Chains A and B, each alone.
Chain A
C-alpha cells in the first residue's frame, strides 16, 4: 500500500508518501497558475526516492487552499445570484452592523456578486413552508436571456425559506439548466447550506458558485494528468471539517474545502490524541505568524458550521464573508514566533498581533527585521539555544535579539535588564494564548482544566508548560515529528460527510415521526456518499440535535441515539437538554418551551489502523551542559538540564529540563515531569513523581 498526501498552500506544496515500511516527505514551491504542475513534480520526486511509479500508488489525499485564495483574491467565476424578488440586496446589506464599534473608517468587503448581477424573481415561500407565489416560466425565460447577455459562468440560486421548502430553487434550476446548458454552473442554497438565516445561506451559495468552475477545471486537469501517468488508485479531498470526501462531492461543494489545510493539522493532533488515549485534548499549534487552538473530544475535533473567509478589514472578526459549512473550530490568535512585541501609546506591553513572519522575521534572523519578536524574547531568556536553531537552517544572531528587546521593551519600561523584559513578553504571549483557549472553552461550555494540552509547531514546546499552568491543565503532549504537519494529517483523516437540516419548531409541536423519516433519508444519502469511497462496512453514523429555549440564542447540541432501523430516538430529549443547559448556564428556566433548531447527520469511516510508529532508532542517552534560563517568577535565572529528545527513552525526568531536537525545543518547567511515550511523543505531567 502506498498512500500520498498533497497539501497545496499559498506558498508551499507539501507532500508525504507512506508505505507499510517508511514515510518520506517533500516540499516544493506552489505553482499558482497551475497548482497541479508543482504537485506532480513533487510527487515524481517522492516516488523516485522510494523507487516507485504512479501506478504503484494506491491512494492520494489532497487538500488545497486554491478555493480560499480565489475568494481572497477575487479570481472566481463571473457569478450571478437569482433570489426572491425584493431581496436582492441581502448579500450586500450583510448584518447591517459595524463590526468595530469605535473605528469610524471601517469598510465592508465587496459582495462576490455585484448588484447588477443580482436578480430578483417572483416566488415566495412562508416561514411555515407554504407557497405564496410560484416562479413564472416567462419571467425565467427573460432572466435566462439576461444571464446569457451578461456572460455569466455560474449562477447561485437563493430563495427565502428555501431551507424549509427547496422546491422553487429546484424548479428554477431546472428551467435555467434547460436554457443555459451544462456549461453554466448552478448552485442551490438549500443544497449547499440548508439552514435558516438568509444572509449566511446566500453568502455560502454564492461563494460555492464563485469557486466551483475554477475548482472543477483544476481537479479535472489534476486527475487527467495523474491518469496519464498511470495512477489508478483512489483520490480523496480534504474537507474543512477534517474529513475526506470524493472528488465528485468536492466538485459540487468546493466551498467545503476552504479550511482543508489547517484541518489537516488538527486531524494529525486528533490522531495523536487517539494514539495516546487522550479523551479530552486541547490542540495548540504555535507557528511563525499565529497560534491556532482547537478542542478535540474523544479523538474527534470540534467542528462548527459558522466560519468566515477573506476578512477584509485588519483581519477583524465580522469583516469577512460568512460561510455555513462544517469546519474544524479553529481559533486563530495573533501570537506566533514572529509576533512583534511593543509598548503601545498607553504604555502597555503588547505581544502581537502584528507579525514579522518569517520574512523579514525576528531581529535575530538578521534578514532585515529589526523589531523585537517573541522568538527574540526566547533567545534573550535562554529558552532557545542560538546554536543549531531550526536544524541549523537559520543562523541566529543573539546580540540583535538583545538589542531589539533592550530598545523596544526594556528602555521604555525602565527595567534593569533585557532578560526580565523578554520574560515579560513571553508571559504576555502565554497569557494571550491561554486566554483565547479559556474564552473559547467557555463558548463551547467546556472545562478547559480537564483537558490535555497537545502542543505543536515551532513554538509549542516553549510555551506549553506555562499555558497549562494558567489553564490548570495537568498533562501536555508534544507529538513526535509534528513539523510535517497537515500533509501527514491528511493520511490520518477518515472519509466522512455531514449534512444539516434546519427544523426551528417547538419540541412539543414537532412531528417527530416525520422528522425521524427525514433524518433516516438524509442518513441514507450521506451513507451513500461516504460508502461510495470508503466502502459500506463499519461506517459510524452520528446524529446531533441542536436545541434551545424558544427565543434564546444559547444552543445546546445533543447526540441522538439511532435504533436498528437507523431511526433517531427523540425520547428524553427535553430532559437531556435541561440537564446540559444547567451545566452551561448555571440554572434552568420555567415554562419556556424548548425548540428544536436543527439536526445534523454525519457519517464517517472507522478509524484507520495506526501506521508504523514515527520513532527513529535512538542514539545513546546523553546529557548536554546545563543552560541558564531567566524565570520571571523566580526573578532571576534558573539552571535547566539539557537533554536530546531520543535520550529520554525509558526514563522520567523532573523539570527544570530542556528537551532539544532539530525543529523545536520543549521547556519542562519546575513542577513538571517529562517522559517519552511508546509512539515517540513526549508526555509532560504536572506534579507527578
Chain B
C-alpha cells in the first residue's frame, strides 16, 4: 500500500472509529439512571464490521463490558441472521451468556446501512438498574429467579420501536420508567454512532469497511504478537482461594505462552455453586484478557485482532464457566479475581515486573429500606490496589474494575442513609518496599431510624487478604459487621436493625518487595500521616531513621 491518501484515510478512520465509540459511551454515561452506573461507567460502546468483528471500542467502561461485547455481536447475529434485517432495525438481548454475564446488562446492536446493504454495526451495553427477579443479591438459586431474560430480538423494526418488548421490561422492573429510559438511550446512542460512521464513509468515499478492517486487524495482530513475545515462552500455573458464598472457592489457571500467543485453561477451578456468584465463561475470559493486556499490551486498542491472541478456556460447569441455569448476578466476585490470577502466572514469566494482588471484587453496598420507607441504594466500598514495582499501591481505588464510589453527599441525597465516617483504615496496606494501597472504614446507618436490608453478595476477601509479591506482605483482609453484634461471614442478606450501623473495612492491597528495604523517609511519612501504626513502623519496617537515632 503506497497511496498516501489511502494510508491517511485508514489512520483517520481508525481514530474516528474509536472516537465514535467514546462519544457513544460518554452520552450513555450521562444518560444512565442510578448514580452507581453513572459513576461506574458500567457500560460500553463499539463499532463492528459487516462480519460482526469488533473494529474499535470505547476505553471508558469496565473490562467486563469492554471485552464481552466483542463476542456478543457475532453471537447475536448467529441467532438473528442479518439477511432478515431491514434498515432501521435494531436488536437487543440481556442473555448473560451472550452479553455481559448477568441479566442487568442489555446489549443493543444497530446495523449501519449504505447503498442498500449492511456495512457495519454499532453496539452498546449498559447496566439497567432493575429487571425484576430478586434484585441485586446472590440469593437466587438459578438464573430464572434473577429477572427476565430476553433472547436476541428486535428492539426496533424499521421506524417502529418494539413497544411489546419494552412493556415486558417495564412490567417486570421495580423502576420501570428508568429501565425504559436506559434502553432507549442505548438505541439513541447507537443511532448517533451510525450517523457518524456513515458521514465518515461519505467523507472518504468508502463503499465498505473491508480495507480499514484489514488495516486495523493487521496492525493490531502484529503489535499484540510483538508485545506478547516479551513474556518468555513456557507454562505457568497459579491458584487463588476466595471466600465463596459460604464455603471457599478455588480459582486455578494454567497459562501457556508460546509464539506470541497466550492460552489460558481454567480447569481445576471449583465447580459452579448454587448461589449467584457464578461467572459465565465470556465474562471470565473478558477479565482474564484484561489482566494480561493491561500488563503486556496496554497501548494496543481493543478489537477483534488484539483480543484474538489471548484465548481463555475452561471445561463447562465450573464457577468460572457456569452454564445456564446457574445464577450469575454477582458474577463480578469471580470475574474480578481473574486479573490477579493471570498476573500471578505472569509473575513467574516476568519476575519483579508484576504488581501485587489487589482487593479484587468491588464491594457492592446494596442497601434497601426494611421498614416503612421503600428505597434501594447501590454504592461501592473500595479497597486498596496492589503495590506496583516502583510505586505504592493506590489506596481505596478499584482494580481491575474502573468503578469509582458515589460521593457521600450524592448518596445521601439519593437515599435516606447517613454515612457516619469514611476514612483510610491504617495498617491495611500490605507491607513492602512498596506498600499496598489502603482499604477504608465506612460506617453507615439509616437516617430515618428504620431497619435496613443489606446484600453482602460481594464482600469478598473476608478470610484472607490479597497476596504480596517479591517478598511483600499481604494486604489486610476485609471485615464487615453490624453494631448489634452481628459479624458478616457469608454473602447472604443481613438485616440492620433501626439504630444499628453497618461497619465495613475493605481489604488493603498486597505489598511489593521486602519491607525492610522500604525508604525510611517513606516509613516516617506513613507514620506521620497515620497510615501505619507505631507498632508496624517498628516491627515490620524496622523503624524510621528517626526511630533508629533514639538511644
Name the distance in Å between B334's Cβ and chain A's nearest Cβ: 20
Identify which of B34, B191, B219, B390 contacts A586 (C-beta below 8 A). Answer: B191
In the bound assembly, the distance between CA atoms of A344 and B223 in angstroms comes to 10
Q: B518-530 CB contact bits vs A (8 Å, 1 = yes)?
A: 0000000000111
**A346 pairs with B219, CB closer than 8 A:** yes
Contacts of B184 in A (CB 8 A): 587, 589
Q: Is A516 an interface residue (CB 8 A)?
A: no
Identify which of B181, B222, B403, B530 contacts A589 (C-beta below 8 A). Answer: B181
Which of A89, A116, A347, A555 lies at the interface centre, i.e. has the most chain B CB atoms within 10 A of its CB? A89
The stretch among B116-124, B236-244, B409-417, B453-461 that forms the contact with chain A is B409-417
Contacts of B407 in A (CB 8 A): 196-199
Q: Is B382 an interface residue (CB 8 A)?
A: yes
The residues in B between 25 and 48 inclusive whose CB is less than 8 angstroms from any CB of A are: 26-27, 29-35, 38-39
Q: Is B418 an interface residue (CB 8 A)?
A: yes
**A104 pairs with B422, CB closer than 8 A:** no
Q: B379-394 CB contact bits vs A (8 Å, 1 = yes)?
A: 0001001001011001
Name the distance in Å between A510's Cβ and chain B's nearest Cβ: 14
Q: Is A96 an interface residue (CB 8 A)?
A: yes
**B32 pairs with A552, CB closer than 8 A:** yes
Q: Is B214 an interface residue (CB 8 A)?
A: no
**B223 pairs with A428, CB closer than 8 A:** no
Identify which of A97, A198, A552 contacts B31 (C-beta below 8 A). Answer: A552
Q: Is A564 an interface residue (CB 8 A)?
A: no
**B12 pairs with A428, CB closer than 8 A:** yes
Residue of B nearest to A504 (CB): B413
Q: A587-631 CB contact bits vs B (8 Å, 1 = yes)?
A: 101111000000000000000000000000000000000000000
**B4 pairs with A421, CB closer than 8 A:** yes
**B300 pairs with A346, CB closer than 8 A:** yes
Name the distance in Å between A435's Cβ and chain B's nearest Cβ: 5
**B423 pairs with A86, CB closer than 8 A:** yes
Q: Is A108 an interface residue (CB 8 A)?
A: yes
Identify which of A108, A160, A413, A549 contacts B181 (C-beta below 8 A). Answer: A549
Contacts of A108 in B (CB 8 A): 394
Contacts of B220 in A (CB 8 A): 346
Given A104-B388, A431-B15, A635-B5: A551 touches B395 (CB 8 Å cut-off)? no
User: Interface residues of A toward B: which range?
Assistant: 35 or more
**A197 pairs with B355, CB closer than 8 A:** no
Q: Is A424 an interface residue (CB 8 A)?
A: yes
Q: Is A407 an interface residue (CB 8 A)?
A: no
The stretch among B91-99, B248-256, B270-278, B290-298 that forms the contact with chain A is B290-298
In the bound assembly, the distance between CA atoms of A287 and B470 in angstroms comes to 48
**A591 pairs with B4, CB closer than 8 A:** no
The residues in B between 54 and 94 inclusive whose CB is less than 8 angstroms from any CB of A are: 59-60, 63
Which of B1, B181, B220, B299 lies at the interface centre, i.e. has the most chain A CB atoms within 10 A of its CB? B181
In the bound assembly, the distance between CA atoms of A117 and B282 in angstroms comes to 48
Given A590-B180, A592-B177: A420 touches B413 (CB 8 Å cut-off)? no
**B395 pairs with A93, CB closer than 8 A:** yes
Q: Is A432 an interface residue (CB 8 A)?
A: yes
Given A549-B181, A589-B180, A590-B177: A97 touches B412 (CB 8 Å cut-off)? no
In the bound assembly, the distance between CA atoms of A104 and B420 in angstroms comes to 32
Given A346-B223, A470-B203: A127 touches B409 (CB 8 Å cut-off)? yes
Contacts of A565 in B (CB 8 A): none
Contacts of A555 in B (CB 8 A): 30
**A95 pairs with B59, CB closer than 8 A:** no
Contacts of A161 in B (CB 8 A): 409, 412
In the bound assembly, the distance between CA atoms of A632 and B3 in angstroms comes to 10
Q: A190-209 CB contact bits vs B (8 Å, 1 = yes)?
A: 00000011110000000000
The residues in A between 396 and 436 inclusive whose CB is less than 8 angstroms from any CB of B are: 413-416, 420-421, 423-424, 427-428, 431-432, 435
Residue of B nearest to A414 (CB): B2
Identify which of A104, A115, A586 contacts B295 (C-beta below 8 A). Answer: A104
Name the distance in Å between B3's Cβ and chain A's nearest Cβ: 8
Interface of A is mostly: loop
**A413 pairs with B7, CB closer than 8 A:** yes
**A105 pairs with B31, CB closer than 8 A:** no
Number of B interface residues at 8 Å Cβ cutoff, please give it: 87
**A428 pairs with B11, CB closer than 8 A:** yes
Q: A518-536 CB contact bits vs B (8 Å, 1 = yes)?
A: 0000000000000000000
**B219 pairs with A98, CB closer than 8 A:** no
Q: Is A348 an interface residue (CB 8 A)?
A: yes
Contacts of B299 in A (CB 8 A): 102, 344-346
The residues in A between 172 and 205 inclusive whose CB is less than 8 angstroms from any CB of B are: 196-199
The stretch among B16-24, B136-144, B258-266 that forms the contact with chain A is B16-24
Contacts of A115 in B (CB 8 A): 529-531
Q: Is B14 an interface residue (CB 8 A)?
A: yes
Given A88-B423, A107-B391, A349-B11: A116 touches B408 (CB 8 Å cut-off)? no
Name the distance in Å between A441's Cβ and chain B's nearest Cβ: 10
Residue of A nearest to B14 (CB): A348
**B29 pairs with A160, CB closer than 8 A:** no
**A553 pairs with B38, CB closer than 8 A:** yes
**A102 pairs with B294, CB closer than 8 A:** yes
Identify which of A104, A586, A592, A635 contacts B294 (C-beta below 8 A). Answer: A104
Q: Is A585 an interface residue (CB 8 A)?
A: yes
**A98 pairs with B395, CB closer than 8 A:** no
Residue of A nearest to B382 (CB): A96
Name the distance in Å between A468's Cβ and chain B's nearest Cβ: 13
Contacts of A104 in B (CB 8 A): 294-295, 298, 355, 388
Q: A120-164 CB contact bits vs B (8 Å, 1 = yes)?
A: 000000110000100000000000000000000000000011010
Identify which of B27, B60, B409 contacts A442 (C-beta below 8 A). Answer: B27
In the bound assembly, the distance between CA atoms of A586 and B192 in angstroms comes to 9
**A347 pairs with B185, CB closer than 8 A:** no
Q: Is B541 an interface residue (CB 8 A)?
A: no
In the bound assembly, the distance between CA atoms of A587 and B424 in angstroms comes to 43
Q: Is B8 an interface residue (CB 8 A)?
A: yes
Given A86-B422, A89-B422, A93-B396: A102 touches B404 (CB 8 Å cut-off)? no
Which of B1, B180, B404 lies at the interface centre, i.e. has the most chain A CB atoms within 10 A of its CB? B404
Given A116-B530, A160-B408, A553-B31: A98 touches B7 (CB 8 Å cut-off)? no
Contacts of A49 in B (CB 8 A): none
Q: A70-95 CB contact bits vs B (8 Å, 1 = yes)?
A: 00000000000000011111101101
Q: Is B178 an interface residue (CB 8 A)?
A: yes
Q: Is B157 an interface residue (CB 8 A)?
A: no
Q: Is A101 an interface residue (CB 8 A)?
A: yes
In the bound assembly, the distance between CA atoms of A671 and B3 in angstroms comes to 24
**B23 pairs with A439, CB closer than 8 A:** yes
Name the distance in Å between A266's Cβ and chain B's nearest Cβ: 23
Contacts of A575 in B (CB 8 A): none
Contacts of A88 in B (CB 8 A): 423
Chain A residues with CB under 8 Å of chain B are 85-90, 92-93, 95-98, 101-108, 114-116, 126-127, 132, 160-161, 163, 196-199, 344-349, 413-416, 420-421, 423-424, 427-428, 431-432, 435, 438-439, 442-443, 470, 504, 549, 551-555, 585-587, 589-592, 632-633, 635
Jot down 23 A-B pairs with beta carbons below 8 A, ordered by A: A86-B420, A86-B423, A86-B443, A89-B424, A89-B440, A93-B405, A93-B424, A97-B397, A98-B394, A105-B391, A127-B447, A160-B408, A348-B14, A420-B4, A427-B8, A431-B16, A435-B15, A442-B27, A470-B203, A551-B35, A553-B29, A554-B30, A633-B5
Chain B residues with CB under 8 Å of chain A are 1-5, 7-8, 11-12, 14-16, 19, 22-23, 26-27, 29-35, 38-39, 59-60, 63, 177-178, 180-181, 184-185, 188, 191-192, 203, 219-220, 222-223, 226, 293-295, 298-300, 355, 382, 385, 388, 390-391, 394-399, 402-405, 407-410, 412-414, 418-424, 440, 443, 447, 528-531
Task: Given contact pairs A551-B414, A552-B33, enumerate 17 new A-B contacts (beta carbons under 8 Å).
Answer: A85-B421, A92-B395, A93-B405, A93-B440, A95-B39, A97-B398, A101-B63, A102-B294, A102-B298, A104-B294, A108-B394, A198-B409, A424-B8, A442-B192, A549-B181, A553-B38, A554-B31
